[in-house]
C-alpha cells in the first residue's frame, strides 16, 4: 500500500471524513489503508470496474439474467456491485463514526424528474445492504424522492448538485423526511448534500469565456470552493442534520482548502495522488476566499446564482448548465454502458 500522509492526517486528525471515489477494489483497499471509511460511486464508476475487472466480478456476482434489459439491467448491475462492496468491504467499518461504512448507489440519470421511479429504485438498492446510501439528483423530482425515502429510514444523498441553493434545498428535504421517520418510530438514515465543486468550475470556465467576464482561470478554479465554503457557513448556522460532501474535484486544492471541515470528502484516486505531495498539514476551512477573486467571479450572473442562497428556485435546478452536462455524462458514459453490459 502507498502511504498517503496527507490523507491519513485529514482522516485521523481533523473533523473531516474521507470517502473513496472509485469502485475498483484494489484502489478502495489502498484508500481504506489511508483512512477512507466510505465509498462513492456513480454509473460510470460501476461500468468502469465491471469492464476493468470482469473475472473478479464474475466470481462474486450472480450476474444479470439475459431477459433483464434496458434500465432494469443497468439498475441491477449497480445494485449487485454496490451491495457486494457494502457487505464485503465497508461493513467492517460500521460503528467507527457516524459516516463510516457506507457505499453510494445512484438512481437512473435518464429520469431526473421521475420521483416515483427513484423511490422504487432506492428501495431496491437499500434492500441489498443496510449501509447503502442512495444518490438522487438535486432536482425537484429528486428532492421529493429524498424526502420520501428519508422518511422510510433510507440513507440518502443529493448529487448532480453544484450550487448553494441546491444543497440548502437538500438539507431541508432531508430534515423533513428525517423528522417524519422519527415521528413514526423509524430509525433515520444519514443525509448527504453533494456540491460538485470541480464541475461548477468547469461550467463557469466556459461561461467566463463566452461572456467575456472579468474572471480568469486563476479565479475560476476558486468558484466551487467559494460556493461550498458559503454553504458550510449556512449549514453551521442552521445546524442541519445533513452533511456536505465536496465531489467532482479537479485538483488537490479542492480538498486542502476545505481541510478540517465537518464534511464527508469524496476523493478520487487522482486527487489522492495529488494530495500525497501536500506538505502543508493545516486546516483551511475557515480561510475565506480572496475578496478580489470573489469580486471578479461575481461579474458572472451564473456564479451569483450558484452562490446566493436564493439564487435559484427549485424549478431552475434542472436547467442549470452544469446539471445538464453532468446528467448527460452519467447517461452516455455510465448508464447506457450498463444497459448493454455482459460479463
Burial class of 61 by CB neighbour count within 10 A (0 to 12, 13 to 18, 19+): middle
Amino acid 158: pLDDT:
98
Amino acid 184: pLDDT:
98
Distance CA 33, CA 219 (A): 35
Amino acid 1: pLDDT:
64
* Contact between residue 277 and residue 296 where contact means Cβ atoms under 8 Å apart: no
Distance CA 133, CA 106 (A): 8
Amino acid 110: pLDDT:
98
Domains of the chain: 5-339 (3.20.20.70)
**Grid cell 467571479 in the structure block, residue:** 297
Question: Residue 294 is placed in which grid cell?
Answer: 470573489
Amino acid 16: pLDDT:
98
* Contact between residue 326 and residue 195 where contact means Cβ atoms under 8 Å apart: no
**In terms of pTM, does the model score above 0.95?**
yes
pLDDT tens digits along 191-209: 999 999 999 999 999 999 9
Segments of the chain scoring below 50 in pLDDT: none
Amino acid at each position: 500500500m502507498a502511504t498517503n500522509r496527507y490523507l491519513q492526517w485529514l482522516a485521523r486528525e481533523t473533523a473531516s471524513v474521507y470517502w473513496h471515489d472509485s469502485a475498483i477494489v484494489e484502489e478502495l483497499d489502498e484508500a481504506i489503508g489511508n483512512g477512507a471509511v466510505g465509498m462513492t460511486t456513480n454509473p460510470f464508476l460501476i461500468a468502469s470496474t465491471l469492464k476493468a475487472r470482469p473475472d473478479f466480478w464474475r466470481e462474486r456476482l450472480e450476474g444479470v439474467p439475459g431477459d433483464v434489459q434496458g434500465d432494469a439491467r443497468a439498475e441491477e448491475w449497480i445494485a449487485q456491485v454496490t451491495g457486494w462492496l457494502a457487505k464485503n468491504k465497508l461493513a467492517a467499518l460500521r460503528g467507527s463514526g457516524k459516516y463510516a461504512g457506507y457505499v453510494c448507489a445512484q438512481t437512473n440519470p435518464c429520469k431526473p424528474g421521475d420521483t416515483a421511479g427513484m423511490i422504487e429504485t432506492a428501495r431496491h438498492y437499500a434492500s441489498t445492504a443496510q449501509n447503502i446510501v442512495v444518490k438522487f439528483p438535486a432536482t425537484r423530482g429528486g428532492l421529493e424522492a429524498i424526502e420520501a425515502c428519508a422518511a422510510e429510514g433510507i440513507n440518502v444523498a443529493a448529487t448532480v448538485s453544484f450550487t448553494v441553493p441546491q444543497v440548502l434545498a437538500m438539507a431541508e428535504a432531508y430534515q423533513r423526511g428525517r423528522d417524519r421517520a422519527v415521528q413514526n418510530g423509524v430509525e433515520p438514515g444519514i443525509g448527504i448534500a453533494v456540491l460538485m465543486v470541480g464541475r461548477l468550475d468547469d461550467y463557469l470556465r466556459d461561461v467566463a469565456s463566452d461572456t467575456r467576464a472579468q474572471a480568469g482561470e486563476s479565479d475560476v478554479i476558486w468558484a466551487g470552493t467559494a460556493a461550498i465554503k458559503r454553504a458550510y457557513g449556512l449549514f453551521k448556522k442552521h445546524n442541519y442534520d445533513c452533511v456536505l460532501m465536496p465531489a467532482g474535484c479537479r485538483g488537490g486544492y479542492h480538498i486542502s482548502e476545505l481541510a478540517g471541515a465537518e464534511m464527508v470528502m469524496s476523493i478520487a484516486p487522482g486527487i489522492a495522488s495529488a494530495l500525497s505531495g501536500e506538505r502543508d498539514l493545516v486546516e483551511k476551512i475557515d480561510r475565506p476566499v480572496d475578496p478580489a477573486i470573489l469580486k471578479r467571479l461575481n461579474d458572472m450572473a451564473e456564479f451569483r446564482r450558484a452562490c446566493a442562497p436564493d439564487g435559484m428556485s427549485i424549478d431552475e435546478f434542472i436547467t442549470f448548465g452544469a446539471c445538464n452536462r453532468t446528467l448527460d455524462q452519467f447517461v452516455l458514459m455510465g448508464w447506457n454502458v450498463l444497459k448493454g453490459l455482459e460479463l
